[in-house]
Structure 1
Amino acid sequence: MLTKTTRGKHFRLWGLSLIVTSVMALSACGSDKNGDVSQGSESAGNQPAEVKVTKVTQVTNWFAEPEHGGQYAALSKGFYKDAGLDMTIQPGGPGVSASQIVASGKAEFGMGQADEILLARENGIPLVAIAATFQKNPQGIMYHKDKYKDISELNGHKVYVGSGVAFWEYLKKAYKLDTVQEMKYTGSLANFVADPESATQIYVTSEPFTMQQEGVDVDYFLNYDLGYKQYGNILFTTEDYIKDHPDIVKAYVEASIKGWDYYKDNSEEINKVMQEKNPDLKLEAMAFGTKAQEALVYGGDAETNGVGYMNKEIWEGLQKQLVDIGILKKTAPIDEAFTNEFLPAK
């Protein structure tokens, strides 16, 4: 049974379990629902001056957790409010598609994976990545400690993984995993624990902590380091929203990045805020996740270009990999899929 601490939700099954035709119909209808609300303030002449605050919603990819730390920091510390945004964070969960919700106009911003953005675009859903809160995606393959030194050694053994998951299709081809016994991933780790020869898909910020608590020694391969280089927890919106409301997009991105900068040195404070939203996730687990993700968020290109930065070569490489494994049918202009223009100046 999936709980708010189960991390299998991040491994979306291909291909993009949206009903594309219905999403496009909703998207065509649009939703310019930027409800501006006025807040009175006193001008020099004691006359109320109207300050417009725009109501917006962002949909995350699961219940509140460290991977959303910057977003909740921006909300709780008033960074969104200071930017003129009346922000609602709508948590994801089983059966919640941020892509579909944003495409239909029911939310302005969403959070997902880079490969989701590319597949959505090929299916006519014009999503655009506007920041990458993770330079390296936390997806990986976990195994019992000291069992494997190379992922090719998984041949002949059971691997619990979602059917058709893009990163797994890449790994199978790149490392010739022809004789792996693919087992259905359900979110439970019981079968993995019972079989020391097996491996399972994970989020490196979560399941290793669960195993630590159960006294099971594990290690993992990070998919990014194995060559499947994609950004994680992409913030995205639609082409139309960027065109119609570039000022709001810029305000959202800048406030979000300010939140991530704050979270780096104040994670304990913000984790307590998130636990109020997701009490099933204990503070000890949050502390583990915060430490595990630090290099993934603030390392790499983020060291010199700031949190959220995206490299064109990474996007092009990912697109090529998805074409090579048949997830995408063809390449498309990659500059249309992402932009750094709304990131704070460095």
Structure 2
Amino acid sequence: MNHFFFTLFLILILNPFLLKANDNVTLQLSWFNQFQFAGYYIAKEKGFYKDEGLDVNIKPFEFGLDIPQGVSDGKYDFAVGRETLILEKTNNKNIVTLYALFQNSPLILISTKESNINSIKDFNGKRIMTTIDDASEVSLKSMIISQKVQLKNLKFINHTHNINDLIDKKTDVISAYTSKAPYFLQKKGVDYNTFSPSNYGFDMYSDFLYTSKTKLEKQKELVERFRNASLKGWEYAYANIEEAVDLILEKYNTQNLTREELIFEGKELRKLSFYNTEILGNIDLSKLQRIYDLYNVMGLVKNNINVKDFVYINNSLLNHLKNEFKRLSEYKELPYLYFFIGLFTLLIIVIIYKNIVLYKVTHKLKNNEEKLLQMNKELKDLSEKDFLTKIYNRRYFETIAKESISLAKREGKNVSILLIDLDNFKKINDTYGHQVGDYVLCAVADLMMEHKRKSDVICRYGGEEFAILLPNTSLSGAKKYSENLREVIANEKLKIDNLSIRVTASMGLTICKPSDDIYSALDRADEGMYIAKKNGKNQLNIFN
């Protein structure tokens, strides 16, 4: 038995032939020094990198750096990436991620209890301090939309990154990090609410460790050494948070953070690192695919990729054992029987473990497939359809209209565009309230859908305006269609509770010319609609 353990020790620990002393590598941080990078500080200062034959230069963050491009070009050997790193991959960056430290992004929204903003639905009409157009906050955007709150109903203001603006009521809601802002609010005795995307199904990976695909292909063994030493540093940092904080205070406290602040950050980040997993740095391909699909639906993916090409799967153990078998078999003095028994046992354990993991992953992928398809459909609807009326929104309409006009030009066919505005709609809102107004919009949308042809595209263009794209339709055919639709709307009694409401519509119709783009055609239809209203409403005007 002693020979057995001696053999295992030689195989897994003593490895002088593989280690290369004094390999100089650089690690570029994604933000200023704080506990967010404690594992890397620990790996350097505790000698974990040195034990792997690495001399690591940890490069501080600076504004204006294009870090993913620097890694792709070989300027930096390794870097820490934000939750949007996969978008850099879609932008033709030559990068591959080694692990995801945070299984859930720390990015959240916060309101004070005093504001009575207790749910996302309470956001309507409120001031939101966040960079909502930034791709890095797409999880916040998705969370808000999923709760049927329209972004146009929110008042977005520029982010100052000062939590006191929330306390001083300069904003109603603020985006922040779970590892930072709550500490200051608790310290000031401010009660608060948090709104985390993960509670609504939008849990995003963050703080990827990544390198270039080129470096991985040329120096795979060095990359694995750096990855393993870094994870060891994080394991130590999370197990010894106060010791890690003391190290930061001594050597890396360029932001003059307090000890209590860093300890709070460390404990919060540890929760994020082990969110729904016991494996540090774990990347679930099915979850990564869901994140990629979310970015894709939001229109942020520049070039389609296979998410498997973004992740390095560490399968080095079997290769390592093969190399050890070859090397150690040369030592004649080793007891071969124990050596073969030990090596065979390890190989069997590894194979069984890999099969178990593969089975679990496959089973999980099958179980999540239907859920993923449903989520993709819902996200597609969110991006293409109007929340209230369930017909297409303006953005999708303009996209389809551009394609239809281009096709019509190539094939010499006609395309007509009809703009519709409900007459006196403000009076309905003022008299009966917005709930009745919303019902009227939905009822009119339903009427249009009932009378559309298969090729027609109908959208809510904004407010009480609708637009209809009529492909392969001449001006005379479009006129007949439009007049019929106008009469249908005018003759319909819309009933809600004890009310019976009639509405009419003013319409502007135009046919696309060879020189048109979508916007020039829409401008003419809009001018026709304006003339129809000016001439008494409830009529069609053809403007060419």
Aligned to 1:310: 283
Is the counterpart of residue 226 in structure 1 residue 192 in structure 2?
no
Query: What is the CA-CA distance between 1:323 and the residue it aligns to?
Result: 1.0
- Between 141-150 and 271-280, report the one with greater CA deviation: 141-150
Is the counterpart of residue 124 in structure 1 residue 92 in structure 2?
yes
One-letter amino acid matched to 2:253? N
**Distance in 2 between residues matched to 1:107 and 1:218, nearest whole Å:** 40
Q: Residues 209-239 of structure 1, C-alpha deviation per residue, up to 9 Å, x if partnerless?
A: 1222233222312223332221111101111
**Is the 1:163–1:184 Cα contact (8 Å) retained in structure 2?**
no
**Is the 1:171–1:177 Cα contact (8 Å) retained in structure 2?**
no
**Is the 2:131–2:158 Cα contact (8 Å) retained in structure 1?**
yes
Aligned to 2:164: 190
TM-score of the two chains, using structure 1 as the length reference: 0.78
**Is the 2:100–2:206 Cα contact (8 Å) retained in structure 1?**
yes
Look up the SS of the partner of 1:256 in the other structure: helix
Q: Answer with 1 or 2: which has the greater Rg.
A: 2
Relative to 1, partners in 2 of residues 1:226 and 1:93: Cα closer, same or farther, differing over 3 Å?
farther
TM-score of the two chains, using structure 2 as the length reference: 0.51
Is the counterpart of residue 83 in structure 1 residue 83 in structure 2?
no
**Is the 1:133–1:235 Cα contact (8 Å) retained in structure 2?**
yes
Query: What is the CA-CA distance between 1:257 and the residue it aligns to?
Result: 0.7
**Is the 2:99–2:282 Cα contact (8 Å) retained in structure 1?**
yes
**Distance in 2 between residues matched to 1:105 and 1:199, nearest whole Å:** 41
Is the counterpart of residue 296 in structure 1 residue 272 in structure 2?
yes
**Distance in 1 between residues matched to 2:92 and 2:158, nearest whole Å:** 30
Of 147, 150, 160 in structure 1, the residue corresponding to residue 119 of structure 2 is 150
Q: Which runs of 5+ in 2 are unaligned?
A: 1-18, 318-349, 354-544
Query: What is the CA-CA distance between 1:198 and the residue it aligns to?
Result: 0.8
Of 182, 201, 209 in structure 1, the residue corresponding to residue 183 of structure 2 is 209
Relative to 1, partners in 2 of residues 1:183 and 1:196: Cα closer, same or farther, differing over 3 Å?
closer
**Is the 1:173–1:325 Cα contact (8 Å) retained in structure 2?**
no
Aligned to 2:463: none
Aligned to 2:253: 278
Structure having greater relative contact order (Cα 8 Å, sep ≥ 6): 1
Is the counterpart of residue 246 in structure 1 residue 246 in structure 2?
no
One-letter amino acid matched to 2:293? K
Aligned to 2:21: 52
Is the counterpart of residue 177 in structure 1 residue 146 in structure 2?
no
Percentage of identical aligned residues: 24
One-letter amino acid matched to 2:291? L
Query: What is the CA-CA distance between 1:151 and the residue it aligns to?
Result: 1.9
Look up the SS of the partner of 1:341 in the other structure: coil
Is the counterpart of residue 263 in structure 1 residue 218 in structure 2?
no
Q: Root-mean-square deviation (CA), in Å?
A: 2.2
**Is the 2:34–2:252 Cα contact (8 Å) retained in structure 1?**
no
Relative to 1, partners in 2 of residues 1:193 and 1:342: Cα closer, same or farther, differing over 3 Å?
farther
Aligned residues: 293
**Is the 1:55–1:85 Cα contact (8 Å) retained in structure 2?**
yes
Look up the SS of the partner of 1:225 in the other structure: helix
The structure where helix makes up a greater share of residues is 2
Q: Which runs of 5+ in 1 are unaligned?
A: 1-49
Is the counterpart of residue 72 in structure 1 residue 41 in structure 2?
yes
**Distance in 1 between residues matched to 2:312 and 2:64, nearest whole Å:** 28
